[in-house]
Amino acid sequence: MAKKPLRRLGAIVAAGALLVTAGCSGGTDDTGDGAATAAGAGDVTTVWVTAGTDDVLQASIDRWNADHAEGQIELQVFENDPYKSKLRTAVSAGEGPSVFSGWGGGGLKTYVDAGEVASLQDAYDAEPALRDRIFPSVLKGGTVDGTIYGTPYNGVQPVVIYYNKDVFEQAGVEVPTTWDETMAAVEELNAQGIAPFSVGGASRWPYLMWIAYLTDRIGGPEVFDAVVAGEPDAWKDPAIIQANTMIQELVEADGFVDGYSSIDANQGAAEALVYSGKAAMELMGAWAYSGTFLSGAPEFLEQGKLGWTTFPTVAGGTGDPANVTGNLSSYFQVSAGASDAAKANATDWLMHGVFDDTYIAELVDTGAVPPISGVEDAIAASSAPEWNAFIYETAEAAGNFQLSWDQALDAAQAEALLTNLEQVFLLQITPQEFSENMDAAAQG
């Protein structure tokens, strides 16, 4: 926001300069330049994103701006948690950007239902080559009622288990692959004074990954599909109750680091516990690799001490162990309220500037894996080929890629979910009470 008055001031100054020069000597080269600047400043295509791959986007926008004097793009980057309410307020007040980032799913649907998002279907129909390269499961996340509204722009972000190889080696514990092994490892690690799992509980959303994975492993994707569809008693499904019971067993077994409920997930403290060796493992989205591990402890990664694996299987569960949960990708939406020129320019950039070869190469270099088929070469040539290949294969092999629960649900239910799930983790309510509270929130 701080930039806005400045830009307006810039436009006024430019316009004023134009008037002065025009009055003095009509039609010289000076006036021409002034006119171009003023027109450009008034018609900038603004793009709002949350922090993460903004360097790659900025590079793409710089290349675009160099070639398109008439269609300048400006990027504004925001922190994750305040972004949603800021965007909603701005869009509602008609002050929104031309292009904004979102997570698809239920959040996208509310914007589409309010008529705030322009369709990208025609643009995609004109670019079948791009459309067919994007993973179908990911493109589906940007589709509402059969029409494409959101286009993915960064990596697939499945949630995986990160672990500290040194810690496991010194403790003489195997990395768990099943839930029973996990509970055994928790006991063994605790006995040696190492916290088994790190979690950024104060931010609440990291808790969601546990219930999402456990529910899928126990009962398959149908359980949460019923919740999204708003079916009665969907929250009371035995799989959800069992998932919460297992979460509470893990909490009671001291599965989480001391003080986990006051660790802020947005400041990298949860990852710091893993790379500093205080905690053995963390369940976290793929964004943490470049977002916090690489920026917080580059030498830890260089020495190959960071390990990763998929979520453990649960004995007797009906869900496919290849299923994953997480963020499919972040999506760009073009605002329906933007000017026609900005819309056209934005769509042009989204179709041709995002996911061109340079963009893909730079994206892969940051440790993100684009949801685009046939980029194995770029992944092999990247700075972190093993990590990228792991994420790429995990995402591609997943029969069901469940969007993060808070993104898949409407906001009122998501807010109730976060509060109630936190109380489950704090052992303040029982799994049965959780299901009853959520059922009431879903009906209300």
Partner 1 sequence: MTAHSERGAGPVRRSGPSVLLTLPALVFFATFAIVPLGAAVWLSFTEWSGLGDPTWVGLDNWRALLTTHDTGHALWLTVQLMVLTWAVQTPVSILLGVFLAGRQRYREILAVVYFVPLLLSSAAIAIAFRNLLDPNFGLFAGPGLAWLNQNWLGDPDRVFVTVAFIIAWQFIPFHTLLYQGGARQVPQSLYEAAAIDGAGRVRQFLAITLPQLRYTIVTSSTLMLVGALTYFDLIYILTQGGPGNATRILPLDMYLTGFTGNQMGLASAIAVVLVVLGMVLSLTISTASGFSRMESQLDGE
What is the contact surface with partner 1 in residues (CB under 8 A)?
84-85, 88-89, 91-92, 110-111, 113-116, 201-202, 204, 257-264, 269, 272-273, 278, 410-412, 414-416, 419, 422-423, 426, 428, 440, 444
CB of 418 to partner 1, least distance (A): 8
Query: Which residue, 76 or 423, has its beta carbon nearer to partner 1?
Result: 423
Cβ distance to partner 1 smaller for residue 121 or 423: 423
Least separation in angstroms between residue 341's CB and partner 1 is 24
Q: Which H or E run contains 77? A: strand 73-78
Give the residues across from 100 on adjacent strands: 48, 333
Report the residue number, 313 or 335, with the smaller CB distance to partner 1.
335
Half-sphere exposure of 30 (CA within 13 A, CB side): 12
Nearer to partner 1, 226 or 336 (CB): 336
Whole-number minimum distance, CB 356 to partner 1, in Å? 33
Q: What's the burial of 132, exposed, middle or buried (CB within 10 Å: 0-12/13-18/19+)?
A: exposed
Of 153, 163, 159, 77, which Cα lies nearest the Cα of 405?
Answer: 159
Least Cβ distance, residue 412 to partner 1 (angstroms): 4
CB of 428 to partner 1, least distance (A): 5
Least distance in angstroms from the C-beta of 275 to partner 1 = 12
The minimum distance between CB 116 and partner 1, in angstroms, equals 6
Minimum CB separation of residue 197 from partner 1 in Å reads: 13
Q: In the complex with partner 1, which residue's Cβ is closer, 35 or 336?
A: 336
Enumerate residues 6+ apart whose C-beta is below 8 A from 344. none
Report, in this order, helix, strand and coil percent for the chain, each rounded to 5.
Answer: 55, 15, 30
- C-alpha distances out from residue 158 to 196, 263, 356, 390, 398, Å: 21, 22, 23, 11, 10
Catalogue the E-assigned strands of 207-338.
Answer: 279-285, 306-309, 324-327, 331-335
Closest alpha carbon to 247 in 239, 258, 235, 259: 239
Whether the CB-CB separation of 227 and 442 falls below 8 Å is answered with yes
Considering the complex, state which of residue 75 and residue 411 has its C-beta at the smaller distance from partner 1. 411
Closer CB to partner 1, residue 113 or residue 122? 113
Residue 55 or 422 with smaller CB distance to partner 1: 422
Q: Does residue 65 contact residue 353 with C-beta atoms inside 8 Å?
A: no
Identify whether the C-beta of residue 146 lies closer than 8 Å to the C-beta of residue 120.
no
CA-based radius of gyration for the chain: 24
